[in-house]
Structure 1
Amino acid sequence: MADDKARVQYHQLLGSGMRLSLAAVQVNVSTESSILSESPRVDILLLRREGTAWTAAQRARLPDGIRDSAAAHILVEFKYTESVTEDAILRAAAYDLFYRQVQKLSREQTLPVVLSAKTPQRSRLAEWGFEESQRGVFRTRLPFVGRVMLLALNRLPANSNNAIVKLFASRKRERDAGFASLDRQVFTESLELHAYVLGLSQTFNVKGELNMAEVLTPEKVLEYGMRVRELIFESGTPEERLAGLSPDQILEVLGPNEILAGLSPNEILAGLNSDERRALLRLLQEDMDAGGDGSPESNENS
């Protein structure tokens, strides 16, 4: 029972991170989604809201393997503290079958995925017929479980699309690589995501891995991250304070003179097209013809 509670907490944390990341690109993420009228419940369900294929924006935030599938319904069984077992593989296949029956979906519309924080033993993978089709992505042709995709977080490349899931890898260096590969531009689109990632980062730094003896919920992680953001704003460097803000958001609080004050004439001109430069030249010429060039002589003669 204790293991079940820990598993629920972990997939809720991962699911919340994926929800914050994918909400902006029209992908619904829910946790403990019921696949029957009663139990069992799949850990995480990714649902493409529209279209017959993942868009470029969605692919940029979905993990390898999943983003290469045409399926709109992704059923994720997340193993964090537990190792991948034969039962876990069979359970994922069963959930997929039940879900398709209830939702009246075809095989092409769903994809069952087992997401493993730990790296499965090669001997077990060979026993189950799983082969690595791309780094960190394993598939098998064995009957009954051939539809199940296995993702090993420690082996997934540290690319920005894998960053959110790699935050939950069992190896510290892989988690660190996940944090380092996060697309900072995404943070400018979601204050919550930025705070959530900060909260996870600080939690891992303090505990090494999430300690489920303390009830840690997505809400607490987000609250922790918000506090970290406040501390950074109060005592951080200018770069740290501006993290998570888009250029437009930064410029909103600056007046025209403040924006231009830090730019050289060449930098100002570099931002103008040919028509704008000609217009500026015309205005300057008119100003000079009117004796308003700002020189001491013109001021004395005025």
Structure 2
Amino acid sequence: MTKTAKKIKPKTLWHDWFGNLFKVSLIPTGLHVETDVPVMQKLPEADVVIIRRSGHKWTENQLIRLPDGIRHTQAEHVLIELKFTESINTDAICQIAGYYKFYKIQHKLSKISDLKCFLVASKTPRKSTLQRFQYRGTRYSGVFKSKCPICELFPIISLNDLSDAPHNILFKLFASKKKESIGATKKVKSDLYEGLPDDLRSFITDYINK
């Protein structure tokens, strides 16, 4: 008698979904978006999203698609790393610091203001970690900045703690707390869905029903 093999649920590729959200949402607004790109020649690909803006500031159409923290930077190059299953820790800080340095070298960026790197955390960062690296909350809920000379280059965005403002809702779909992600799903369906472009609407439908 043969045993019935259990069906194994495919692993969800969170970084792919997160990167594709930026692509589908932002490319139509005129922004250049890349994912899974090498931050320096002869190095492995990194699980990061790169946004490059050609104008001097975000347009209104771009601002409505960008979450708090990112929408407030004026850097023309924005590097975003999602920590979905991992926590913010020393390794995470060292890793994004490496991306920052290598990306600046590859793209010949000389000014600190040319590039901004964000650590986006699906899980709420531990208070002890925030204190250790001197991160403090800002006027925008879920956005943390550090007074440490190195860490100040890398703001943290906690998806669980972002406000329910319309420009944050799509990103809160990736929050680790079910209350937040389910709440975001309901808000997308009730308030945002009908006003989204067809491609973005299809993406959201596929993500919710994955």
Sort the TM-score into its range (normalised by shorter chain).
Answer: 0.7 to 0.9
Asked whether 1:147 is paired with 2:153, we answer yes
Choose from 83, 89, 94 the match for 1:90.
94
Asked whether 1:180 is paired with 2:191, we answer no
Distance 1:174 1:53 in 2: 30
Identical-residue share of aligned pairs (%): 30
Asked whether 1:124 is paired with 2:154, we answer no
Q: Following TM superposition, by how much is the alpha carbon of 1:144 offset from its aligned partner in structure 2, in angstroms?
A: 2.1
Q: Give the 5 Å matches for 1:189-268.
A: 189=197, 191-203=198-210
Q: Following TM superposition, by how much is the alpha carbon of 1:97 offset from its aligned partner in structure 2, in angstroms?
A: 1.4
Report what 1:166 is aligned to: 172
Letter in 1 for 2:62: Q
Distance 2:46 2:74 in 1: 20
Choose from 144, 150, 166 the match for 1:138.
144
Q: Following TM superposition, by how much is the alpha carbon of 1:164 offset from its aligned partner in structure 2, in angstroms?
A: 2.1
Report what 2:163 is aligned to: 157
Q: Following TM superposition, by how much is the alpha carbon of 1:51 offset from its aligned partner in structure 2, in angstroms?
A: 0.6
Q: Following TM superposition, by how much is the alpha carbon of 1:153 offset from its aligned partner in structure 2, in angstroms?
A: 0.3
Q: Which runs of 5+ in 1 are unaligned?
A: 1-5, 204-302
Letter in 1 for 2:102: F
Per chain length, whose mean CA-contact separation is higher, i.e. which structure has more relative contact order (CA < 8 Å, sep 6+)? 2
The ranges of structure 1 where at least 4 consecutive aligned residues each deviate by more than 6 angstroms after the TM superposition are none
Q: Secondary structure at the match of 1:41?
A: coil
Distance 2:180 2:30 in 1: 28
Report what 2:85 is aligned to: 81
Letter in 2 for 1:196: F
Report what 1:210 is aligned to: none
Asked whether 1:34 is paired with 2:38, we answer yes
| Aligned partners of 2:133 and 2:151 also within 8 Å | no
Q: Following TM superposition, by how much is the alpha carbon of 1:69 offset from its aligned partner in structure 2, in angstroms?
A: 0.2
Distance 2:50 2:187 in 1: 22
Compare CA radii of gyration and give the structure with the larger one: 1
Structure with more of its chain in helix, by fraction: 1
Letter in 2 for 1:129: Q
Distance 2:44 2:119 in 1: 16
Q: Which deviations, in whole Å up to 9, do the C-alpha atoms of 1:158-210 show, x marking residues without a partner? A: 222112211110011111222234323542x2x2221211121123xxxxxxx
Q: Secondary structure at the match of 1:146?
A: helix
| Aligned partners of 1:132 and 1:139 also within 8 Å | yes
Report what 2:108 is aligned to: 104
The normalised TM-score by structure 2 is 0.86
Asked whether 1:44 is paired with 2:59, we answer no
Q: Following TM superposition, by how much is the alpha carbon of 1:85 offset from its aligned partner in structure 2, in angstroms?
A: 1.2
Q: Which deviations, in whole Å up to 9, do the C-alpha atoms of 1:239-269 show, x marking residues without a partner? A: xxxxxxxxxxxxxxxxxxxxxxxxxxxxxxx
Letter in 2 for 1:202: N
1:123–1:151 Cα change, 3 Å: same
Distance 1:114 1:174 in 2: 19
Letter in 2 for 1:193: L
Letter in 2 for 1:30: E
Distance 1:41 1:69 in 2: 25
| Aligned partners of 1:159 and 1:178 also within 8 Å | no
Q: Which deviations, in whole Å up to 9, do the C-alpha atoms of 1:40-69 show, x marking residues without a partner? A: 433233323421111111111101000000
Q: Following TM superposition, by how much is the alpha carbon of 1:94 offset from its aligned partner in structure 2, in angstroms?
A: 1.8
Distance 1:71 1:43 in 2: 20
